[in-house]
Amino acid sequence: MPEGHTIHRIAKDHSPLLTGRPVAVSSPQGRFAADAALVDGQTLERIEAYGKHLFYWWSSGRVGHVHLGLFGKYRVHRGPGAVAPQGEVRMRLRTDLATIDLAGPTDCAIGTPDDRDAIVARLGPDPLRRDAKPAEALQRMARSKQPIGALLLDQKVMAGVGNAYRAEVLFVNAIHPLRPAADLSDAEREAVWATVVAMLRKGVKDNRIITIDRKEFPVPKGAPRRGDGTYVYFRDTCLRCGTPTGRLTLAGRDCYYCPACQPG
């Protein structure tokens, strides 16, 4: 599932191609056809990213919502020419600059600002947003006896953190994934938030997950593979000390950690 940096990067990259101009909205697959008709031909005012959610604000006042989930993916075709759909395209957005196809999302719907607000109300602060309130995330961590490795995947605590960043944030701060969140010191919880912010911002800039310090280790060139730019995530051994990485199932996902660098 894409993490928060990917969603913010999508909003950033797609906005110049879609916003401020009429958009032809359709559903080649057919499953989104009724909703597409509600906004077809309207002007898209802005694309908003919040955690792992995208919101499309239309000139009529309607708001579209997309959650990519595990299998959702966008395909961008630049230029005004017609492009044949590839695969099962749920939503097609077409302007004079590009055609953007969406396939396989968990959710894709047209609603209202109230619908958008209801979704956001269920989420914790998004570390990538200027309006984020870190105190809310810190307070939720301070009150929870759950393992910090599980809590970081709870979108009600912090919106946008996924499996890779969870592992890397805890590694960088030498925190064992099983430590109860409430047992962390205030300084440790603040460091977790600050590290999440820094890593997600870097992810938006790089358009990939690179959490290692380039001064400490070189980033491999060529096509990125999982584990190339991380200390412990998706690695057999810790990049820093060479100890075999451990794995714990937390919040239904494998959480990677280094037994030596993150003692329990």
Structure confidence by residue, pLDDT tens digits, 21-80 = 999 999 999 999 999 999 999 999 999 999 999 999 999 999 999 999 999 999 999 998
| Alpha-carbon separation of residue 236 from 174, 199, 227, 242, 244 (angstroms) | 18, 22, 9, 9, 6
Q: What does the pLDDT read at residue 245?
A: 98
Cα(202)–Cα(100) distance, integer angstroms: 25
Pure H helices in 152-216: 163-172, 186-206
The answer to whether residues 160 and 2 touch, using CB atoms and an 8 Å cutoff, is: no
- Give catalytic residues, as residue numbers: 2-3, 52, 253
Structure confidence by residue, pLDDT tens digits, 128-171 = 999 999 999 999 999 999 999 999 999 999 999 999 999 999 99
Q: What does the pLDDT read at residue 221?
A: 74
The pLDDT of 170-188, averaged and rounded, is 98
3-class DSSP state for residue 75? strand
E strand segments, 1-52: 24-26, 44-50
Q: How confident is the model at residue 1 (pLDDT cuts 50, 70, 90)?
A: confident
Please state the pTM of the whole predicted model. 0.95
The answer to whether residues 184 and 144 touch, using CB atoms and an 8 Å cutoff, is: no
Comparing 27-31, 89-93, 206-210, 250-254, the range with the smallest average pLDDT is 206-210
What domains does the chain contain, in order, with CATH numbers? Answer: 4-121 (3.20.190.10), 134-257 (1.10.8.50)
